[in-house]
Amino acid sequence: MKKNLGRVLILFFLLSAALKASTYTWNLELDKKDVVTNEAVYFKYECVFSDKSELYVIEFNPVTDNENYTVKLLSETENIVENHRVNSFEFVLYVKKGGKFSLNLEARMKKTNKDSIENTVLGRDNAVYEEYSIKTLPLEPIVLDVKDVNQALVGNFSLKVNQDEPKVSQFEPYHLEILISGEGNFEKLQPFSFEIKGVKIFQEEPELNVKLTKNGYEGTWSQKFAFVGEKGFSIPMKQLHYYDLKSAALKTLQIQETQIDVKKSSFQKEELLDTPKENKIELKKEYLYYFLTFIAGFLVAKIKFKRDKEAGKKELGLCAKISKLKSLKELSVVLVLEDEKRYKEIIEKIEKNEFKDISKVKKLICG
C-alpha cells in the first residue's frame, strides 16, 4: 500500500510539472548589421524559460559551410538563472557574397509527453503513446547589408619575418620564417612559395595556431623556409593583400627582397661525409632542413673532410671529423648523422643555442 502511495505521489508531482505550462522566449543578439564579405559576424540566440523546464530538449544546430555563407559554433551553454532555465547558442558567421543577406533559422522544441511520464512511473509495457511532442519554431532572422570588397582575406593582421644574418657559407642553409599575427579568417591564407635559380629551397607546411573568438579566428600563422646555394642569391619580395577592418581599406603586407652573401667554403665538394649507418635515423622537426639538404646533395657538400693519406681507405673517426669543424651548425649535422639518439641531448642544446663555443662541445664529446 505504501509502495503504491509513493508511486502515486511521484506521478502526481511529475504530472503537475508536465501539465504546468512552461513558456519560453527566444532572443537574438547580433553585433553588427553592416559588414563586408568574409568579415566575422557574431550572433547569439538565447532561449529563456519561465521555469527549470526539465521536460524540454532543444534541437538547434545551424553550423554549415556552403557557397553563400559559413556558420561556426563558438559556444553552447545551459544554465539555471534565478530558477529560470537559459540556453545560449553563440556562433560566428561569414557571408561570402555582397548584397542584402537574410538567414532564417529554426529551432525544434522537443517536449516529453504526459503519457511517457505515466508509463515510466506506472511501468506500463503495453501502452501505445508518443513519447515526445515536437514544435518547429522559426527564429528571428539575421539580416545584414554586405559590401563586396573582393578580397578573400579579411581582418586585422601584422607581419614579422624571422631570418638569419644574410651571410652564409657555401651549402649552408639560410633560414627564413614568415609569421602573421592578428584576427580574421586565417583559413584563407595561402602558403608562400619561392623559386630561385641555382638555389635549393625547402619549405614546411604552414602552421596555424588560432582560436575562434567573436571577431573570428585570433592567433598566428607561420611558415618556415631553408635556402641552400653555392653562390650569392637574392630572395625576392613577396606581398600579401587583405582588407583591413580597422581602416576599412585594402592593405598590403610586404616581405622585403633580401640579398644573401655566400662565402666560398674551404672544403672541397668531392670530400663528402662517411656513408651514414644503415640503422634508421628518426629525425626530429628541428633537424628537418639539415637532413633534407643532405639527401638533396647540398648539405653533404657543406661539411668536408681531408682524408688521412696514411689511413688509405679507412674512414675517419668521429673525433677526427669534428676536429675540423668550425661552426655549431656543422657539428649538429654530423652528430645527427652519426648517432642521433646517442647525442640527442647535445643536439637539442645546440638547436636551442645553449652552447656558444664549439671547442667546449668538442671537448664534451671527445674529452
User: Chain-wide mean pLDDT for the chain?
Assistant: 81
pLDDT tens-digit series, residues 172-222: 899 999 999 999 999 999 999 999 999 999 999 999 999 999 999 999 999
Full set of structural domains in the chain with CATH: 17-147 (2.60.40), 154-263 (2.60.40), 285-366 (no CATH)
6-10, 318-322, 333-337: the lowest-pLDDT one: 6-10
Quick one: pLDDT at residue 350? 82
Higher pLDDT, 258 or 122: 258
Cell of 238: 613577396
Quick one: pLDDT at residue 319? 84
Quick one: pLDDT at residue 132? 76
Dihedral (CA of 45, 105, 154, 247) sign: negative
Quick one: pLDDT at residue 4? 55
For residue 324, report the phi and psi dihedrals to the nearest 5 degrees. -95, -5
Confidence category of residue 121, pLDDT binned at 50, 70, 90: very low
Angle at 307 between CA 302 and CA 310, to 5 degrees: 175
69-82 burial code (b ≥16 CB/10 A, e <16): bbbbeeeeeeeeee
Residue 46 has pLDDT above 80, yes or no: yes
